[in-house]
Structure formats: C-alpha cells, structure tokens
Chains A and B, each alone.
Chain A
Amino acid sequence: MKKILIITIIGFNYCVGIYFGVMNTIYSVLLALALFVIFRHLRRIKYSPYKELNISQETPPVTILIAMHNEERVVLRSIRSALAAEYPFFEVLIINDGSTDGTLQKVIDTFGLKKIDRVYRTFLKTEPVKGFYYNLKTPNLLVIDKEQGGKADALNCGINVSRSPYFCSLDADSLLEKDALIRVMTPLLDSGVPVIASGGVVRIINGLRLTDEIAIEEIDLPDNTLLLFQIVEYIRGFLFGRVGWDALRSLLILSGTFSLFQKASVVAAGGFMVGNVAEDMDMIVRLHRHMLKKKKPYRIRFVSDPICWTEAPDDFKMLGRQRRRWHLGLIQTIFQNREMMLNPRFGRIGMAVLPYYVIFEILGPVIEVLGYVFVIISFFMGILSFDFLLLFLTLAIFYGVFLSTASIFLEELTFKRYPKWSHLFKLLLFGVLENFGYRQINSFWRFEALIQYFMGMRKWEHVHKKGTEQTPPAAPAGA
C-alpha cells in the first residue's frame, strides 16, 4: 500500500513538474508577445487617426449600455462619464434591472427624466419592460425600467432598444475616460477584416481623486492592502495577458466592464446568455463559435490604450464573491461550449485555447490543492525533502515576482498612470507580497467555485459597491 502511495506521489510530482513548466512557458510567450506588441503599438499610436475619427462622419454611432441593479451610490458617476464621452454620435441607454433601492429615482431626479411610452420590440427575449424615461434636453439618454432578470437580460434589453450598429457595455460602477470610446472603436475602423468586438483596459478606481464625478484630479494608490494586490493583478492581467492573447488572435475574454460589440453579430449569436454568471466571457466564446461555424472572417480585438476605471471590492467577503463568480462563469462557459473543444472546425480556439483554459485555468486550483494534500501525506510518510520543497517554492515565487515586475515595467513603458516614486515601489512590493497568502486565498476561492459548480450552486453572487467619497450615499440601504 505504501509502495503504491509512493509511486502515486512520484507520478504526481512528474506531472506537476511538466504542468508547471508548460504553463510558465505559455506565460513567458505571452509576455514576450505583449512586449513586442506594446512597443509596436506605442509607435503606431503617434500616427493613429483616432483624433480625426472623433469628428468624422465615418465613425459609426454607438450605444453605451449601462445595466444597473441597486447601484444608487455609484451609478451617476458612470452615466455622467458616459455622457461626457468624446465621440461623434452616441446614445446612452440605462437599463434599471429591477432595482429595489433608490437607483431609478435618483437617475430620474438627477437628469429630469419623464416617463414616455415606447414600443419595445424583442429581437432578444427578455423580462418585461415597465417603462421608459427620457428628457428632450438630454436627447442621447434613455432609461429603461424593467423586471429583474440579471445583467445578461438587462444587456439584451438594451440591445433590443438600441438603434446603433455597435454597442458598448459599461458597468454601473465605472468611469469611462473621455477618449476611451473612440480609442476602443479605432480597431473596428482600422481593420480590413470585420472586428466584431473590441475591449479596453479596466483599472481600479479606488484611490483616485475626482474633481467632479467624471474627471480625474489625481491618481493615487489606495491604502487598503487588498486593493493594492488587485491593482497589480489588473495591470498584469490587462497589460500582458490580454495583449498576448490578442496577438495570438485567441482572445476568449473581454471585460464586460468596458467592451464594444457589433450588434448584428451579438444578435446573430443569440445575445447574452441569461443564467451564465460570466456573461461577457460567454458572449465572446459564442461569438467565436458563431463566426467559425458560419466560416465568416472576423476579429476580436483588445486595445491597450482605452481606459475605464472601475470599483474593486475592498474586503475579503466581497472579493471572494467576485472571484468565485468569475471562476464559476469560466467553468459554465467552457461546459456550455464544449462542442468546440478539440474540434478542428473551431480552429485554434477549439484546438488550443479552450483546452488551455480547461487544463490551466479550471484545473489549476485542483492541482494546487492536491499538491498541498500530497505534501502533508509525504511529510507523514517521511519522504518529504524540505530542501527540495524550498527550492521549488523559491522558483515558483520568483517566477511570479518576475511576471509582476515585467507587467509593472510594461505599465511604466506605456501609460505610467501611477506616476509617483512611491507608486512604483509600492506596486513592486505588492507584486512580491501577493505570493505569500493572497494567491493561495484566490486559489481557495476558485476551488470553492469548482465545487459549487458540480454541486449545482450556480447563482450570481452580488458584490456590493461602496462608491467613492465623491459620490456619498443618498440612503443608508446597501448599494
């Protein structure tokens, strides 16, 4: 029995060694690609036509969709920043998804909206619409009040009402930089192949000082440790993760916080999937599926210069909810689209990207937890080499620190949104510290999500938004 256990442990060790090597090789390739692409992009941006597009009639109209559910503390900031976008032709559709607090009333009062009657045509099936609110003085703002159906349902409702060929989904707790919309639209206009979706960078708003609700006065880092870890994660995720996948034409995720879609393609793919807790990832995967099935040429792009700021959870409870939801959404999406898995018909997405997500993203926490179990077993069996364990741990941590440092370096090269010396050192420090505890907690949440999925607990865990100091709560009820 002991012999079998030892053989199992050895076998597992070899598997993990290979797993670790392959995964980090992929990350290194993504990092190298990101470096190359960002250098190239930085040069191209000097002659990019986005400023001309801003006044051009060639720029197609866009509808900004903001789904809100109990967001009274933050939603005004998001609407105002959307209305302030520098873009030739756009409308803002706010979809109140059955808020039970004062969200809707706050929006109506602030913008002096009046109820109007409008015909609601359902290209995509949604929960019933209760009413429309409009003010001739702000002709590009329309609020739709509907029964609660979830974010995907709210977005589908917005698509039904929208009259533009493109729409941009924006979270209700976000702040869009003025030129972000035109910048995220640029690849759609600048490409010979139809670009059906395009996403920009999402950054953490906590710590920012705003002059009014839409302009950034000063960028600072928050004092909260959890937020600092997340800032490093976001920089890493967006500046080399997405850029790298984009270079490989294998993007599977665009953040629903801020992404642009071609409406016709989304409608043809069936709209956002109600019931999937990661409607954004699901949408991108189904867009790939639809276009590849139809054998139509298309691109899904990520652009590293449009920026949208969003609020991040600052306590463990909310962060845990968010991370479990993300992982649950990932698993749901992969399972719902399993037809694509290892199917040559779906090209690199089916043959490489989806298997990567299953092996390295979904199974990652399982292998990690198994690792801890095997360490304990090995310890009690007396076959654990502390020297070797320490060496492996050191390698893993150094690789993690290297990736974080490289991402912060990319940030320095590109936008340098954190300009102070203290910012640089803090970010570098937290890039090191996150390896000691924070990552393990994240893995635990992801493992929990996996268990939740197989136990059928697939509910959307709502993350409460606190709002910034510039948007004080109007009512004590939780946002």
Chain B
Amino acid sequence: MHLRCNDILVGRIESLPIFHTPKVMGAMQNKVIIVIIITTISALLLLIAALFFTSVIRRVYKKRKYGKLDHLRKVFDKKIRESLESGAMPGMRSEFIAPPRSDAWQAIEDVLLSLIDEERYRDAVYKLFFTLGYVSFYEKRLQSRNVQVRTLSVDMLGRMKGEASVPKLSALLDEKNSELVSTVIRSLSKIGGQAALQAIVERLPIILDWSIVTRKAMGMALQPFGAEAIPYLVEQKSGRDSLWIMSCILDILSRLPADPRSVHLAAEYLSSMNAEVRSKALKVVGRAENVPAGHNLPQLVLPLLQDPVWFVRLQAIRALRALGYEAFAPSVEKLIFDENWQVRNEAAQALIGLGERSLDIFLDILAGADRYAKDSLCEEIEKTNFSGRLIQNLKASDRGLQKKSRRVLEIMHSLGFSTPLSEQLEQEGDETEKELIRGMMKTVPGL
C-alpha cells in the first residue's frame, strides 16, 4: 500500500500549539491577529456546517428522486412495452409527454434508451423520441456554447439512433474540439447507415490527420459498419497521397471482414516506401486466405521477410501463416536468427505450426552456434506443448521421425529445457518410454 504521508494532506501542523507570545507583541498587532483568527474560525465553522447540511440534504433529495425515478421507470417500462407490443403507440403518445428535465421525462428517456437496443423496437422507439420532443431538445442543445453540453447532446442523439440527426451531427465533425469530434464519430457509428458512414468517410483524411484521439475514435467507429464501410474506404481518393492516412485506412480495413477490394488495395501498397503502410497492408493481406484477390499473394509477401524493418518482417510471417502458405519454411528459418525477439518468436511459432515437417530445420538451428535463436526455439516448443508431441514420437514406428525427435529433445535438455522430460518421468505411464527418457537424460548432460 502506498498512500503516502503527503497524501494525507492536512494535519501537518494544525495542532501546533505555539502561538504563545502575545505579551511581547504590540497590543494593536495582537488584536488584529486575534480578529483574523476568530473570523477564519467562524468562516470555517460555517463552511463545515454548510458542507454537512448539503451532504445530508443531498442524500435525502437523491434518495427521494431516485426512489421516484425507479418507480416511474417501472411504470413507464410496462406501459411503453405494452403499447409497443400492441401497436397502439400513436394513440398513447400524449400519456408520455412530460416537461423536459422532469423526473417523468428522465424516466421515459431511460426506458426508451434501454428499449432502442432491441432491434424490433428500434424504429418505433425513435419515433417516440422524436414526437415526445427528445430529439429536438438535444438538437437545440447542440447550439450551446458549453462544449460539455454539446458533447452530451451528441452522445444522447447517437444513443437515440435517429438517422434524421445525421446532418446536424455531421456538421460538428468540423469542430476543433477533439473530444466533441470523437463523440460525434462514435454517435454516427451508433446510428449507422449510409449517410452516417458517408459523413465520416468524407472527412476521413482530416480526422485521421488531426489528432490521435479522433483517429482512435475513427478506428473504433468504423468497425460496426462492417463490410459496408469497405467500398467507401477503398474508393477514398482524397488523402491517398499521405502515407500516414493510407496506413490508417489499411489498419481500419484489416479489422473489417476480409474482402477482395481491401486485399487488392493492400497488395498495391505492399511495396510502399513507408514501413507502417507495408506492415498494415500485410495485415490486410493476411486476412485473405479464402478471398479471391486475383494476385499470387504469397509471392508478393515473401520478399517482405527480408524487409529492413522488424515489424514488417513480423507481419510478413503472420501473413504467410494466415494465407496457409506452407512452403515458407526455408525463408522463415533464417528469421529464427533475427535480431528482433518478436520476429524470432513468430518465426519459431510458424515453424512449430508446420509440425514434424520442420524437424530438420529445428535440428539445423539447434546444432548451430546462435544461443539466442536456440533458446527462442526451445521456449516456443515448450510453450506450444510441441515437446509433448516430440516425446510421443520417441515411440513412433517411423525410425527417422523417432531419431529426429529424440535429437531435438536431447539438445533441449542440454540447453536447460528439461521440464517436459522431467514431468514425463514423474507421471504414471509407459515404463519403456520412461526408460528411453532416462537414458537420454543420462547421456546428455543437462544445464
């Protein structure tokens, strides 16, 4: 626990009993000090009383208010649900009209907001929001000078999911407050539909280029649109000159469903000058396993295994794995010796994914002199539980496989990666296998 003494902000010297020399002070000065102290004490006393009574009154008020709100919510929830189910809503609207900000107004708003998430009620609930004046109330508040009031209204309009509010919300995308703009993007995303999507994508280059906050909001906001957003992003012409914006677009595309148009665009940018762009393009390509893109994608990706930037190499391995391209082993083998540990680990995982077909490569690496590469490989073999498969292979009928598996395990043991073997010995099981392991551990000294 590290609440520090300085957290406890008061109490340093308030108990200092040291003002004790008035006899030697001037009488006048003394009086002034006493008056100041008494005035301060009185003011403090008043403030303490005010805070105390405010706390008490606030509790009483809130208890009453929330009690009433809970009751109203229950009442309106029942009534509104019944009306929605029976289709009698138009005739009953007058029953739900309440003065803005009143308890009834808030209770109805809460009930409607909870109902709007149910797809079957969405249109009817929005109509209710509209006719009961909620939409116009919050749209009016979009004009407020207080940015918090505007942001809150934007959020509410987004939660009401009314496409009619899209033009008013879109206009706010040109504002200069990043919090407001982010909320607008999120609200448009909640509303969904072509108009909202178009409004966001039209301003995409500006928003992506403007602030990290709006860029993150954009990344999140486009996901709910799913495949619908892809053509807009792919056909986005403005901002294409900026590699930074292109990297953001590709990043967003990599999170949307796989699509030939995205892959086609990404393939174009695999040879970009910018490493971020290449890496994001690889992310998109890596999702194209079953997408006919009209390219020989593995052939486009393979050269990037030698990219000078580590995260591009990393993405290239991932893309090849995701594409199901199994002939990558010889190229990926070199990356086991990569200077970057993330790349080494990824390469090791990729090779382990190929199973026994990688045993020769493993033996090559493990027989080499690069300790770092050997450790990375052993670690991944153990972590992915491939060591269990190697132990099983000790009894395989295929003599070659048996020999290779044994050699890998021996080297692992010599490097200190003996836990799978020791655990196997501790478990109940085949004594012949255990004997084999014991023999192996005897002949090869462990670390």
Contacts and interface: CB of A to CB of B under 8 A. Distances in A.
A391 interface: yes
A192 B8 contact: no
Interface in A230-271: 233-234, 236-238, 240-242, 252-253, 255-257
Contacts of A171: 1-2
B1 A192 contact: no
Interface stretch (A175-183, A210-218, A325-333, A339-347): A325-333
Interface stretch (B12-20, B116-124, B201-209): B12-20
Given A46-B152, A121-B341, A395-B40, A312 B12 contact: no
A195 to B, nearest CB: 11
Contacts, number: 278
Given A190-B213, A406-B51, A392 B44 contact: no
B34 A383 contact: no
Interface in A1-36: 6, 9-10, 12-13, 16-17, 19-20, 23, 27, 30
Interface in B203-228: 211-213, 216-217, 219-220, 223
B155 to A, nearest CB: 4
Interface in B195-251: 211-213, 216-217, 219-220, 223
A395 B13 contact: no
B341 A40 contact: no
B400 to A, nearest CB: 27
A453 interface: no
Given A12-B18, A281-B4, A463-B1, A443 B44 contact: no
A330 to B, nearest CB: 6
A93 B122 CA distance: 44
Contact of A391 (B15, B37, B423): B37
Contacts of B45: 398
A377 to B, nearest CB: 9
A57 B41 CA distance: 55
A149 interface: no
Contact of A58 (B21, B22, B220): B220
A255 B3 contact: yes
A379 B17 CA distance: 11
Interface of B: 1-25, 34, 37-38, 40-41, 44-45, 47-48, 51-52, 54-56, 58-59, 148, 151-152, 154-155, 178-179, 182-183, 186, 211-213, 216-217, 219-220, 223, 255, 341, 375-376, 378-379, 382-383, 385, 416-419, 423
B19 A392 contact: yes
B34 A391 contact: yes
A374 B11 CA distance: 19
A428 B49 CA distance: 11
B44 A399 contact: yes
Interface-centre pick from B12, B155, B216 (highest chain A CB count, 10 A): B12
A12 B13 CA distance: 13
Contacts of B56: 424
Given A378-B20, A435-B11, A446-B5, A49 B417 contact: no
Interface stretch (A65-73, A75-83, A99-107, A360-368): A360-368
A118 B379 contact: yes
A47 B20 contact: no
Interface-centre pick from B148, B211, B385 (highest chain A CB count, 10 A): B148
Given A9-B21, A392-B16, A443-B11, A47 B2 contact: no
B164 to A, nearest CB: 20
Interface residues of A, number: 113
25 contacts: A13-B21, A17-B19, A114-B423, A115-B419, A116-B419, A119-B378, A119-B379, A202-B1, A238-B3, A240-B9, A242-B7, A252-B6, A253-B4, A310-B1, A311-B1, A312-B1, A323-B5, A357-B6, A367-B16, A378-B18, A396-B15, A399-B10, A399-B14, A401-B48, A435-B15
B55 A439 contact: no
Interface of A: 6, 9-10, 12-13, 16-17, 19-20, 23, 27, 30, 40, 43-44, 46-47, 49, 52-53, 56-58, 114-119, 121, 134, 136, 171, 173, 189-192, 202, 233-234, 236-238, 240-242, 252-253, 255-257, 278, 280-281, 310-312, 322-323, 326-327, 329-330, 357, 360-361, 364-365, 367-368, 371-372, 374-375, 378-379, 383-385, 388-389, 391-406, 408-409, 412-413, 421, 424, 428, 434-435, 439-440, 442-443, 446, 463
Contacts of A400: 10-11, 14
Contacts of A240: 9
Contacts of A12: 18
Contacts of B38: 391
Given A389-B17, A439-B11, A443-B11, A330 B4 contact: yes
Given A47-B152, A398-B48, A253 B13 contact: no
Given A391-B38, A400-B10, A257 B2 contact: yes
A119 B419 CA distance: 13
Given A357-B6, A396-B15, A57 B255 contact: yes
B415 to A, nearest CB: 9
Given A253-B7, A310-B1, A421-B59, A396 B20 contact: no
A477 to B, nearest CB: 21
Contacts of B20: 9, 13, 374-375, 378-379, 383-385, 388-389
Contact of A360 (B12, B19, B40): B12
B21 A409 contact: no
B8 A236 contact: yes
Contact of A47 (B59, B151, B220, B376): B151
A361 B5 contact: yes
A91 B383 CA distance: 15
Contacts of B41: 391, 394-395, 398
Contact of B216 (A58, A234, A278): A58
Given A17-B19, A361-B6, 10 more contacts: A44-B148, A47-B155, A117-B378, A119-B378, A237-B4, A253-B6, A400-B14, A406-B47, A412-B55, A442-B11
A392 B15 CA distance: 8
A56 B220 contact: yes
Which 8 residue pairs across A and B have the least CB separation, nearest first? Answer: A237-B7, A396-B14, A47-B155, A439-B11, A364-B12, A371-B16, A371-B18, A384-B20
Contacts of A190: 179, 213
A404 B18 contact: no
Contacts of A278: 2, 4
A257 B419 contact: no
Nearest to A386: B20
Contact of A439 (B15, B18, B51, B58): B15
B178 to A, nearest CB: 6
